[in-house]
């Protein structure tokens, strides 16, 4: 997969599949699956570091995770998230952070929102950096949105998301994440745009879907919003494996001679 193939998939009406990934071992597993692309999301601040939101993610953190994913991901397409405020400074500082992420191993960057980002997006795409947009519930705006709430529920807010989506396409984004907006609005935007939309909590009609690795594998039982489906019972499986190991050591059944030098 490359950034041009995203567009082709939309034309062919083939769904795009994306999952977050933050580390080498998970990237190795994902590299052996048919998933289309990996997002090194700034959700790493929460899933990997235990922060309560994504505002604590830094460019150093994102580069560290991107480089680890790159080493394990084989030929999977990797999108790296630009963290909170990293692209709201001077053009040269913004470009320098995008450069760090690309040189750490991303094939594209993602950033949140449209207003104030358009000329930077245009500059990046003109400089060889594919950019993925992100609208709707944009977690880096948690304090202006007043919490993790579904966006686009009023006509005014839906209109703003529609207009922002068109502007991001115009600025050169190759794809757009739509997070937590009503099914109908996501459908309308998907039909309006020639670039693909990738939904999370945005219903059935987007051109693709993204979920957080820990969520889709059922690793984190404390977090189960409506849009998450556990496709595996990861938490239980991990615990079973650990308990089997503990029991086995205590019973003197592990290691056996075959495990010894
Ligand atoms: O950081 C992230 O995991 C994301 C996805 C929720 C789209 O941006």
Say what the pLDDT of residue 187 is: 98
Say what the pLDDT of residue 247 is: 98
* Catalytic positions: 179
Give the number of the atom of ligand 1 that is nearest the alpha carbon of residue 212: 3
The SS3 call for residue 260 is coil
* pLDDT grade for 19, boundaries at 50, 70 and 90: very high
Burial category of 260 from C-beta neighbours within 10 Å (exposed 0-12, middle 13-18, buried 19 and up): exposed
Among protein residues, the one with the nearest Cα to ligand 1's atom 2 is 41
With 90 as the cut, is the pLDDT of residue 164 above it? yes
**CA 200–ligand 1 middle distance (angstroms):** 8
Q: Ligand 1 in contact with 18 (CB < 6 A)?
A: no
Q: Ligand 1 in contact with 198 (CB < 6 A)?
A: no
Q: Give the span between the Cα atoms of 206 and 183, in whole angstroms.
A: 9
**What string of DSSP letters covers 7-48?**
HHHHHTTPPEEEEE--SHHHHHHHHTS---EEEE-TTHHHHT
Q: Ligand 1 in contact with 177 (CB < 6 A)?
A: yes
With 90 as the cut, is the pLDDT of residue 210 above it? yes
Instruction: Kindly state the tokens that stand for 164.
Output: 């922002």
Give the number of the atom of ligand 1 that is nearest the alpha carbon of residue 43: 1
Instruction: Kindly state the tokens that stand for 176.
Output: 């757009």
Is the pTM higher than 0.75? The answer reads yes
CA 76 vs CA 3, 26, 65, 83, 252: distances in Å: 12, 12, 15, 22, 42
Q: Which residues pair with 80 in a beta bridge?
A: 40, 109
Say what the pLDDT of residue 25 is: 98
The full set of domains in the chain, from first to last, is 3-230 (3.20.20.60), 233-261 (no CATH)
Rounded to a whole number of angstroms, the distance between the first and last alpha carbons of the chain is 44
Q: Ligand 1 in contact with 169 (CB < 6 A)?
A: no
- Nearest CA-CA partner of 24 in 74, 61, 98: 74
Name the CA radius of gyration of the chain, rounded: 20
pLDDT one-digit tens code per residue, 50-98: 999 999 999 999 999 999 999 999 999 999 999 999 999 999 999 999 9
Q: Give the span between the Cα atoms of 110 and 106, in whole angstroms.
A: 10
Average pLDDT estimate for 176-192? 98
pLDDT one-digit tens code per residue, 37-57: 999 999 999 999 999 999 999
Say what the pLDDT of residue 232 is: 98
Q: Give the span between the Cα atoms of 168 and 50, in whole angstroms.
A: 31
Say what the pLDDT of residue 223 is: 84
Helix (H) / strand (E) element for 133: namely strand 131-136
Q: 201 — alpha (psi -120 to 50), left (phi > 0) or beta?
A: left
Say what the pLDDT of residue 4 is: 93
Give the number of the atom of ligand 1 that is nearest the alpha carbon of residue 41: 1
Q: Ligand 1 in contact with 215 (CB < 6 A)?
A: no
Helix (H) / strand (E) element for 81: namely strand 77-81
Q: In this structure, are residues 39 and 76 in contact, taking their beta carbons and an 8 Å threshold? A: no
Say what the pLDDT of residue 245 is: 98
Q: In this structure, are residues 63 and 42 in contact, taking their beta carbons and an 8 Å threshold? A: no
Which residues are CB-neighbours of 44 under 8 A, at least 6 positions away?
A: 20, 22, 57, 61, 62, 65, 81
Say what the pLDDT of residue 5 is: 96
Mean pLDDT of the chain: 97
């Amino acid at each position: 997969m490359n950034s041009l193939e995203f567009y082709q998939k939309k034309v062919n009406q083939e769904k795009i599949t994306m999952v977050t990934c933050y580390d080498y071992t998970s990237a190795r597993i994902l590299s052996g699956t048919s998933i289309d692309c990996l997002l090194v999301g700034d959700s790493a601040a929460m899933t990997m570091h235990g922060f309560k939101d994504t505002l604590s993610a830094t460019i150093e953190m994102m580069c560290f995770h991107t480089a680890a994913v790159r080493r394990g991901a084989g030929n999977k397409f990797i999108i790296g998230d630009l963290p909170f405020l990293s692209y709201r400074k001077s053009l040269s500082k913004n470009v320098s952070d995008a450069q760090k992420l690309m040189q750490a191993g991303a094939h594209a960057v993602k950033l949140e929102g449209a207003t104030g980002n358009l000329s930077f997006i245009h500059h990046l795409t003109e400089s060889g950096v594919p950019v993925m947009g992100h609208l709707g519930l944009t977690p880096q705006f948690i304090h202006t949105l007043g919490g993790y709430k579904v966006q686009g529920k009023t006509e005014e807010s839906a209109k703003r998301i529609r207009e922002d989506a068109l502007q991001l396409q115009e600025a050169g984004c190759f794809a757009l994440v739509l997070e937590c907006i009503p099914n109908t609005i996501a459908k309308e935007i998907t039909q309006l745009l020639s670039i693909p939309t990738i939904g999370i909590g945005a219903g059935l009609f987007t051109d693709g879907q993204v979920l957080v690795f820990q969520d889709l594998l059922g690793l984190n039982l404390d977090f189960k919003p409506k849009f998450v489906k556990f496709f595996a019972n990861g938490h239980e499986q991990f615990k079973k494996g650990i308990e089997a190991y503990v029991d086995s050591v205590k019973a003197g059944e592990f290691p056996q001679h075959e495990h010894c030098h």
